[in-house]
Amino acid sequence: MPSQPAPLTTTPPLLRLPLELRDLIYALVFADLVITHALPTPSSSSSSSPKPLPPSHRTALLRTSSQLHHEARPHLLAATTLRFPSTESLLTTLVPLAPATLSHLRRIRVTAYPFPLHTDRGMRYYATYGFAAALALLPGLRVRELEVEDAFGGTAAEGVASEVGRLVASDGWQELRLVARTAGEAQWGGLARVGEWDRALKGKDGARSGASVSVWVGGSGAGKEVRLTATRGRGADIVQGAQGEEGRSWAEMKGKGVFPDDWERWYYDEADRAGWLYGGWSRRMQLAVRGLR
């Protein structure tokens, strides 16, 4: 009697490999992947309108089976750099995620604008807060690299010092890189406070932990580029604690309100100080409206 052919296996070749080898493959597939969250564009047939970026074929691996999705997703989160054009875009995307998911993220780049929250339950307008406060709404965050681009070119010494000081004192990151640009011949407002921030971070993480804050200023003539780097100390607890309610979307959180007692409201000039209206008359608030997308 002729022998019967061996039944064909339905297990794909990738899943026949040991898990250790599959982990190496996942890491290579997602290496250096950058996912950019673009601002929404107006509906227009004009050829000059920005076109949405095509999705990466590499992420298609997660849609092939539930097992591959379960195995590969942590590698995607750990290897990918997430780029956000505004604080609002970052919060809309990340606030709904569970702390366990946020804890896998390793690289974030964001253009930082002040962001709005209702001041209290009896008010109908928004108060604004600096970018550092946004990190408090992302419990579990512990990225390896956080790059923040200042959208305004901070030259006002008092405003820059308080904004950057709160950012350096925040949690959720191992290395912070702040990129700012000055206007004209003005000096960057935080330059005189770098030593103070460095001592504060060493006091927080330990004098011999490797914690440090440094700044580089380049360029000549009209406008200079400023790059501040802050590094948390070895063994420091960088995990962001909880603030707000888990499971709520950013739209729900912003609409119903989050009421942090220890957050300092942000202002730029007397018009903002008087009303705290999101979209006030200062240049910084006008730019912030553009970031509220």
Q: What residue segments make up the domains of the chain, in order of their start?
A: 10-39+53-79
Question: b/e for 41-78, b at 16 or more Cβ within 10 A?
Answer: eeeeeeeeeeeeeeeeebbebbeeeeebeebbbebbbb
How many residues make up the chain in this entry?
Answer: 293
Note the helical H segments in the chain.
Answer: 13-16, 19-29, 66-79, 87-94, 99-102, 131-135, 157-168, 194-205, 250-256, 270-275, 283-291
What gap in Å lies between CA 230 and CA 154, rounded to an integer? 18
The residue that leads in pLDDT, 222 or 278, is 222
Closest CA to 211 of 239, 180, 237, 241: 237
For the packed helices 194-205 and 157-168, what is the interaxial angle rounded to 10 degrees?
A: 20
Task: Name beta bridge partners: 213.
Answer: 230
- pLDDT category at 246 given cuts 50, 70, 90 is low
- For 79, the token pair is 């290897």
Mean of the per-residue pLDDT values of the chain:
77
Q: CA 29 to CA 58: how far, in whole Å?
A: 6
Express each pLDDT in 26-39 by its tens digit.
999 888 888 888 65
Give yes or no for a contact between 289 and 279, defined as CB atoms under 8 angstroms apart: yes
- The pLDDT, as a whole number, for residue 142 is 94
Tokens 């206007």 -> residue:
183
Cβ proximity of 129 and 119 under 8 Å: no
pLDDT, tens only, 97-110: 889 999 999 999 99
Residue keyed to tokens 């604690």 = 241
The answer to which of 86-95, 170-179, 213-222, 275-284 has the lowest mean pLDDT is 275-284
Residue type for position 227: R
Name the band, by pLDDT with cuts 50, 70 and 90, for residue 63: confident
Q: What is the pLDDT of residue 202?
A: 95
> What dihedral do alpha carbons 47, 51, 57, 58 form, nearest 10°?
150
Mean pLDDT in residue range 176-199: 83
> pTM score > 0.75 for this model?
yes
pLDDT at 181 over 90: no
User: Which of these ranges, 122-126, 163-167, 278-282, has the smallest mean pLDDT?
Assistant: 278-282
